[in-house]
Amino acid sequence: MSAVVLRNLRCLESPKALNALSSALFVELNEALKECEEDSEIGAIVLTGSDKAFAAGADIKEMASLTFAEAYSKNFIASWSFMSSLRTPVIAAVSGHALGGGCELAMMCDIIYATKTANFGQPEIKLGTIPGAGGSQRLTKAIGKSKAMELILTGNNYSGEQAEKDGLVAKAVEGGNKEVVDQALATAAKIASYSRVAVVAAKEVVNKSQDLGIREGVEYERRIFHALFGSQDQKIGMKAFAEKKKAEWSHS
């Protein structure tokens, strides 16, 4: 299996507006993610923007005149969270701005890599609103209540370097978009080289830790661990180890 980079989707090529996120962009992004998810040859995905911006947030011009009735009745931005339902691991490779919905989109991914100078933030408070795509929840889980509260209430930005120290970002790299994508691709290729069944299970149990208490989480993990004894790949992996051979995964 291989890894794939999603970039320069037609709608993400909106460099003038710094990849502002719109409903049209999410129709296209979700379609591309669905295609990747259904392609058995793709074992991991890298999502990126450009040197200047991963995404500068939801399109403020598109949202400016939206009414409560429209937002509520049409469940505005509900489909923007499709990313978080994927089974294939996704790495966000962030350079430049990742603000508002851009930061939230990165946090919906499974792993974030960023340049040291990347610019994260939840500036919605400056627009008279609040994060709407999970920012208040995921940022708080990632860096703790006090730091998340400070960032969300002030709208202050923070660098990729700081985000790595705080645990939001797994790796902060020197350089620009190319360097961060290279690093993300290397990790994606490594993930894609493992058993698809084990990767999906590992992603599922880590995600459960976000919703469950420690006791239920550990029990849940044990059930999935037990279930993997029913997979071909557990047999293949352990046999290959004993025989000092490279495992040839069946992905079943």
101 is an active site residue: yes
- 5 close to 42: Cβ distance less than 8 angstroms: no
CA 136 – CA 113 distance, rounded (Å) = 20
Q: What is the DSSP string of 41-71?
A: TEEEEEEE--SSEEE--B-HHHHTT--HHHH
20 is an active site residue: no
Q: Contact with ligand CO8 (CB under 6 A): which of 61, 178, 190, 222?
A: 61
Q: Which is nearer to ligand CO8, 148 or 191 (CB)?
A: 148
77 binds ligand CO8 (CB under 6 A): yes
104 is an active site residue: yes
Of 116, 136, 115, 123, the residue nearest 48 (C-alpha):
115
146: number of Cβ within 10 Å: 9
DSSP label at residue 75: T
Q: Which is nearer to ligand CO8, 101 or 160 (CB)?
A: 101
101 binds ligand CO8 (CB under 6 A): yes
92 binds ligand CO8 (CB under 6 A): no
Q: Which residues are CB-contacts of 229 (< 8 A; sequence separation ≥ 6)?
A: none
248 is an active site residue: no
217 binds ligand CO8 (CB under 6 A): no
139 binds ligand CO8 (CB under 6 A): no
Q: Contact with ligand CO8 (CB under 6 A): which of 20, 42, 112, 236?
A: 20
With contacts defined by CB under 6 A, how many residues of the chain interact with ligand CO8?
25
Contact set with ligand CO8 (CB under 6 A): 16-18, 20-21, 56-61, 77, 80, 97, 99-101, 104-105, 123-124, 127, 131-133
Catalytic positions? 58, 101, 104, 124
